[in-house]
């Protein structure tokens, strides 16, 4: 006995099975952001009142540059995943939904690439 409606069996449509992947990606990025955010806040507080050269020297240290890069990429992915859920839940017109989902991905990529480019210019 199937729980599908007759129309659903004919169309062959069912669960896309992508929800679990999305769920786990969002949780993993959230967990990764906890220590990265603590490091970021600590670094920002430590640099309050610092000279520009000291702040640049701090960012040129490989460990700090890598942690900042990881923070930016993880935050951008987490942001895109969260906004994707909002768009999918609250936008009901298909055309608008597709356009907003594409804009969401482009915006998250643009933010990450811009931040990483600025970091690369500082480091190199």
- Express each pLDDT in 45-72 by its tens digit: 999 999 999 999 999 999 999 999 999 9
Q: Are the CB atoms for 74 and 29 separated by under 8 Å? A: yes
Q: Report domain extents, the chain.
A: 6-123
Q: How far apart are CA 119 and CA 124, in angstroms?
A: 9
Per CATH, which fold does 6-123 belong to? 3 helical TM bundles of succinate and fumarate reductases (1.20.1300)
Residue 74's contacts (CB-CB under 8 Å, 6 or more residues apart) are: 29, 32, 33, 36
Alpha helices (runs of H) in 1-124, residue ranges in sequence order: 6-11, 19-46, 52-60, 62-90, 94-123
Asked if the model's pLDDT at residue 7 lies above 70, the reply is no
Mean pLDDT (the chain, rounded):
92
Residue 42 — very low, low, confident or very high, per pLDDT cuts 50/70/90? Answer: very high
The model's pTM is 0.84
Q: How far apart are CA 82 and CA 1, in angstroms?
A: 37
pLDDT tens for each residue of 89-103: 999 999 999 999 999
């Amino acid at each position: 006995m199937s729980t599908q409606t007759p129309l659903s069996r004919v169309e062959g449509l069912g669960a896309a099975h992508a929800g679990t992947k999305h769920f786990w990606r969002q949780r993993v990025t959230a967990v990764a952001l906890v220590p990265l955010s603590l490091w970021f806040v600590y670094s920002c507080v430590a640099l309050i009142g610092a000279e520009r050269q000291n702040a640049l020297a701090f960012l040129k240290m490989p460990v700090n540059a890598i942690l900042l890069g990881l923070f930016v990429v993880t935050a951008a992915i987490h942001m895109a995943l969260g906004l994707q859920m909002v768009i999918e839940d609250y936008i009901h017109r298909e055309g608008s939904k597709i356009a907003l989902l594409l804009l969401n991905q482009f915006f998250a990529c643009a933010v990450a690439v811009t931040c990483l480019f600025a970091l690369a210019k500082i480091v190199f």
